Amino acid sequence: MKNYEDLAKKIIKEIGGEENIQSLTHCITRLRFKLKDESKANDEVLKNTAGIVTVMRSGGQYQVVIGNQVPEVYAQVMKLTQLEEKGQSEVQEKKKGKILDNALDVVSGIFQPILGIMAACGMVKGLNALFVAMGLYSSQCGAYLIFNGIGDGLFTFLPLFLGYTSAKKFGLKPMVGLVAGAIMCYPGLQASSLSAEMKPLYSVFTGTSFESKIYMDFFGIPIIAMNYMSTVIPIIFVVYFASKCEKFFNKFVPDLVKFFFVPMLTLLVALPVGFMLIGPVTIFGSTIISETVLAIRNISPLLAGAIVGFTWQILVIFGMHWGFIPVYINNMMTFGFDNVMMPFFACTFATSGVVLAIFYKTKNKQLKELALPNFISGIFGVTEPAIYGITLPLKKPFIISCIVGGLVGGYYGHFNFRKFMVGGMGIFEFPAMIAPDGSMGNLIVAVTGAVMALVLGFLFTFITFKDKEEEKKEEKDLEKPEIKNPEASFIKKEIIKSPFNGKVIPLKDAKDEAFASGALGRGVVIVPEDNTLYSPVDGVIATLFPTLHAIGIVTDEDTELLIHVGINTVQLDGKHFKAEIKEGDRISVGQPLVTFDREAIKKEGYSMETPVLVTSDPDDYFDLIETDAQEVKQGETLLSVLYLEKEGK
């Protein structure tokens, strides 16, 4: 992979240095700087720099046109400067697709910055437990306590880290997100602290499954307390709501006092709402789930165990596993064992087996480096790094781990699998599964179930796992149509049809210098006469820019296309655009891709000139023929791409 660090350094230097940069974004072809003083930028030096197509000054931005490699150059510029990345909240809202997929993408994206340190802390926790089990030191000595603090600190105060990363994801000031996480971990607001230090004021929902003791209220509104330490979803929702609050307050708070008034107002609104709503929703959801499992267990222990095993990881992600804790503790205190929550034990080893298979199958170096330490921490009972860092982002491995957890959870339920003592994690829980009378039957069930989960998770993943690049290649090979009568001609022609009705302008006459130069690709410009962009080819959506104004397509014949609706319309940030597809979608000729409000865009002051470009390497095709018509209808031939075809192929 080409290193763009030198190019990024050159750009930073020639635009006047980092201190001259007010902000930076990028679109599909160019870096878009807002400079404090544009006169400090050296246009001619940049234009003559290898890797830069041209530079432009437009719409209050200093634009450095790079081409298809702009994401890599942007990443290097961000790495070399102290600039903060623009929040992605608008991007996430505008992307269409399955709700579950989007939710998983958001959660996994929030965890991406802390994956490495999570894996490290998980390994420390596991090794610390291993060394105690081996008798190298006791669980009461200073070494154990320090190592336990190193391993457990991140997981205990997870809302702080997620507050920061969620804020960057949702466009909130990162320090506000960090403070929100700290507030949610404040000891005096945890349910355990309140119940130990205060007498309940009263109870709500008395006589129902949702009966809760109230230890405090907020101006008369009852607060149903819970423990927020180590939770995931509550802080993410709070930060998302806070990002909306911040945008709202930014609209009317005077600039003179925005620096401290906007964060203050944001916290004063978002956190009370979080404590009043998120806690109760989580608790009530947990209660419903745990009581449902108890009711099912009275009918079928096997089915109840399967439900716990299948759903446990999902419940943990949403912080809804807490409903089982009172049941677990009550069973331990009353019966001397728990058999309701314990089928979750299967998930630990199912996840570990899945991650181990990924370690052996993947060719992705970064993924392989994450997989091994996450496997080690997983068998020691710490699966969060594996879930958030590997299985959840990849989706299919996460589903496999849930399915295997359900299968082995059913096995555990059927054989009345129990735990007799509190304590231990992963393989170190096995001693707590020896029956008080010394019989080993329950331990045998525990070990055989763990081995089954490990083996099944490994096998299912090993058989089905493919790296993303490999999956895309196979999909393309399957979808690519067979070319009939290949000996008939040495020239193969692919037709690119017009994506809408409109006036045709030669590319050299485009108002945008970068497109007019032809450096970004060959093609034509269309001024659309309607409000829908239709697919000009059969193929796959390779790129849908978050602001929805630009689409990259790879056709069935491997031709790469770029359709850029309007000039500088990236600055609308998606306003007046609506996507009918998403990245990775299979498309066919004539299918609606994007709708837009042409008149509204023009009223905003933007040209509707739309370049339709073939961005494939010119060496990959023989010639490109543009239509000579001055006007085209949607579906008529716009471009013809000619390829040389080997004889007999």
- Enzyme catalytic residues: 27, 564
Distance of alpha carbon 234 from alpha carbon 159, whole angstroms: 8
Burial class of 228 by CB neighbour count within 10 A (0 to 12, 13 to 18, 19+)? buried
**Ramachandran angles phi, psi of 41, nearest 5°:** -80, 135
Distance of alpha carbon 462 from alpha carbon 400, whole angstroms: 11
DSSP 639: E
Which of 15, 28, 19, 9 is CA-nearest to residue 57?
15
**Ramachandran angles phi, psi of 124, nearest 5°:** -60, -45
Distance of alpha carbon 484 from alpha carbon 473, whole angstroms: 22
CA 648 to centroid of chain Cα atoms: 46
Which of 486, 636, 482, 616 is CA-nearest to residue 553?
616
State the amino acid at position 140 in one-letter form.
Q
Sign of CA dihedral 477, 478, 480, 482: positive
Distance of alpha carbon 349 from alpha carbon 337, whole angstroms: 21
Which of 544, 546, 525, 521 is CA-nearest to residue 627?
525
**Ramachandran angles phi, psi of 416, nearest 5°:** 55, 50
DSSP 608-619: --EEEEE-S-GG
Query: Which pairs with CB-CB distance under 8 Å and at least 24 residues apart come from 551-558?
Result: 551/593, 551/594, 552/28, 552/615, 553/587, 554/476, 555/494, 555/496, 556/479, 556/480, 556/481, 557/480, 557/492, 557/494, 557/641, 557/643, 558/476, 558/480, 558/616, 558/620
Give the DSSP H or E segment for 32: strand 30-35
State the amino acid at position 105 in one-letter form.
D
Around Cβ 36, how many Cβ atoms within 10 Å?
11
Distance of alpha carbon 608 from alpha carbon 602, whole angstroms: 7
The three-class DSSP label of residue 360 is: helix
Give the DSSP H or E segment for 593: strand 592-596
Cβ atoms of 513 and 43 within 8 Å: the answer is: no
Which of 217, 231, 194, 330 is CA-nearest to residue 276?
217
Show the tokens assigned to 230. Answer: 């180590």
Distance of alpha carbon 308 from alpha carbon 321, whole angstroms: 10
Which of 397, 401, 393, 354 is CA-nearest to residue 374?
354
Cβ atoms of 165 and 114 within 8 Å: the answer is: yes
